[in-house]
Copies of this chain bind each other. A is one copy, B any other.
Amino acid sequence: MNRSLPPHGFPNSEFETRLSLFQRIMREHRLDGVFVTTPQNFRYFTGFASQFWESPTRPWFAILPLEGAPITVIPAIGVDVMATTWVKDIRSWPAPVPEDDGVSLLAEALRSLPRRFGRIGAEIGREMSLRMPVSDYLKLPALLPGIELVDGSPAIWDARMIKTDAEVERIRTACQIACDSYDAVPEIVTRGMTEREAVQAVRVEATKRGIDAIPFMPGVSGPGGVSQIVAGPADRILATGDILFIDTGMTYDGYFCDFDRNFAVGTLDAACAKAHEAVWQATEAGIAAVRPGVTTEDLWRVMSAALEAAGALGNSAGRLGHGLGLQLTEPPSHREGDRTAIREGMVLTIEPGMEYAPGKTIVHEENIVVRAGGAELLTRRAPRELPIIR
C-alpha cells in the first residue's frame, strides 16, 4: 500500500469556511436555512465520512442555519462518530422507528431557526434526490407553520461548484491514482481476457495504489470502437481489432475523478486511428477554451465544432462534459443552451465523443480545474497514440 498519499480528512477550518460561504449564499437566495439528507451534502458541510449510507434504512439530517452553527439530527448508531466532527449540536433517535424516523426532531430543529425570510431550502431540485421518504417530507409543511419549504439545490450547487484548494487536492489524488492504473493496462490486461477480467485487473491495480473506493468502472469493447458507454463490463472476450473503453469514478477521501481511457487490442485500423485523433484534438480544443468568463455553452460549441468537422454522426450523451467533486457528475453541463459562467475553482470534465461510424463510438475525457489563466489538468493527458494491448 502507499503511505506517500496525502492524509484523509480536513481541519475544522475547512468546514467553517464552507459554512460561512454558504451562509452568504443563503442570504442571496433568501433562505433562513437549508437542511440536507444526502451523503455528499451531509459530508460537505459536516465532515462526517461513512460508508453506512449504503444502507437506505435510516434518514440523517443536517441543518445549515443562516447564522450560527450547524445542527445534526441523526440515528443513535451515528452519534459517537458524529461527535468526532466539528458539529457540536447533535440530536438523535433510536432509528429505525418507522412511526417517526426523525421527522418531528427535524421539524423541531427547523422551527427553532430565527425567521428572517420565512423560507427553508431542501434538496428538491436539479441533480439532487432527497434521501428520506418523500411521504415523510410531505409531512413537514404541517409541522412548520409560517415556513415555506423551497428548492435549496441552486444554493447548494452555488457553494459546491467552486472547489476549495483542499478539495482540488483530493480530486487530483484520485486522478493520479486512476492515471497510474490506466498506464498499467498494457501490462495487466491481455488479449483473450474478458471485459470483466480487464476491469477487475484495473480495480486491483487502483486499490493497491491506495484508492479508497471504486463506485464506477464500466468497461466496454467492440471492433474499432464501442456501441455504448452505459453498460458493462460483460463477458465479451477482447480480440484483435477491438477498442477497449474503460471509464472510472474512483474516490479518494470522498472525492471523485471521472475520466475514461481507450486502448487498442492488437492492431488499430486507419479509420479508428483517424477518429481517435479527431476526438483527441477536440479535447485539446476544449481544454484550451477554458477560462473564467466563458460559458459552458462556449465549451460545448468549441468541442462540437471540432467533432462535426471530423464527421461525427452524433452523440447521445446530451452534453460534452460536466462538473465533478463529491459526486461523479455535478453541475454545470457543457451543453447547448446552458450558459453557466465558468469560474475559478470549478473542477470540470472535458468530454468530447462521437459516433464516427454506425455503432462505433469514441469518447475522450480529462479532468481540469479552472484557474485565472485557464485550465489546469488534474489528469495526465491521454496519449495521442492509442496504447496497444497485446
Chain A interfacial positions (CB closer than 8 Å to B)? 1, 7-8, 48-52, 54-58, 75-81, 84, 94-98, 122-135, 137-138, 151, 153, 193-194, 196-197, 200-201, 203-204, 207-208, 210, 212-218, 227-231, 234-235, 249, 316-319, 322, 327-329, 333, 335
Contacts and interface: CB of A to CB of B under 8 A. Distances in A.
Contact of A335 (B1, B96, B124): B96
Given A56-B327, A230-B50, A231-B49, A130 B129 contact: yes
Contacts of A77: 229-230, 316-318
Contacts of A317: 77
B8 A234 contact: yes
Contacts of A126: 98, 133
14 contacts: A1-B201, A8-B196, A50-B231, A51-B215, A52-B231, A54-B215, A81-B228, A96-B319, A124-B133, A125-B133, A129-B130, A129-B133, A129-B134, A135-B151
Given A96-B319, A129-B130, A135-B124, A214 B213 contact: yes
B218 A210 contact: no
A79 B122 CA distance: 32
A131 B129 contact: yes
A65 B183 CA distance: 48
Contact of A230 (B81, B215, B329, B333): B81
A194 B84 CA distance: 19
Contacts of A228: 80-81
A1 B197 contact: yes
Instruction: State how many copies of this chain the complex holds.
Output: 2
A1 B235 CA distance: 12
Nearest to A228: B80
A94 B51 CA distance: 33
Contacts of A319: 96
Contacts of A137: 134
Contacts of A7: 235
A76 B127 contact: no
A129 B128 contact: no
A236 to B, nearest CB: 12
Given A52-B230, A127-B133, 16 more contacts: A50-B218, A51-B217, A54-B329, A55-B329, A57-B127, A75-B318, A77-B229, A77-B230, A77-B316, A80-B228, A80-B230, A81-B230, A96-B335, A129-B133, A204-B208, A207-B207
A80 to B, nearest CB: 5
A363 to B, nearest CB: 11
